[in-house]
Amino acid sequence: MISPVYRTDALLLDFCECTDPPYFYTCLWECVHSCPSVRLAAITFLMAHYNKKQTMEDQLHMVGLNISLMVSI
């Protein structure tokens, strides 16, 4: 049986690959901001894909297109 966390991660990753990553992460931050029920899944996805060995500049797409939205959370 496949874990729901794995399925959610795979779904979000597939969607991210089909879109422009900065746009995808902007939408993800908007969901985190506006819908408490998706926060755990979204933050779990973000933490799983954030590489601590790379600089933030190399992963700037994870901030999205609206920095103030990400910072307000």
On the question of pLDDT at 2 being above 80, the answer is no
Instruction: Quote the longest CA-to-CA distance of the chain.
Output: 39
Q: Give the pair of three-digit tokens for residue 62.
A: 């994870």
Distance of CA 48 to the CA centre of its chain: 9
What would the pLDDT profile of 4-44 be if each residue is shown by its tens digit? 878 889 999 999 999 999 999 999 999 999 999 999 989 99
Q: How far apart are CA 18 and CA 14, in angstroms?
A: 6
33-60, pLDDT tens digit by residue? 999 999 998 999 999 999 999 999 999 9
Structural domain harbouring 15: 4-71
pTM for this one? Answer: 0.87
Domain count, the chain: 1
Continuous H helices in the chain:
4-18, 21-34, 39-49, 67-71
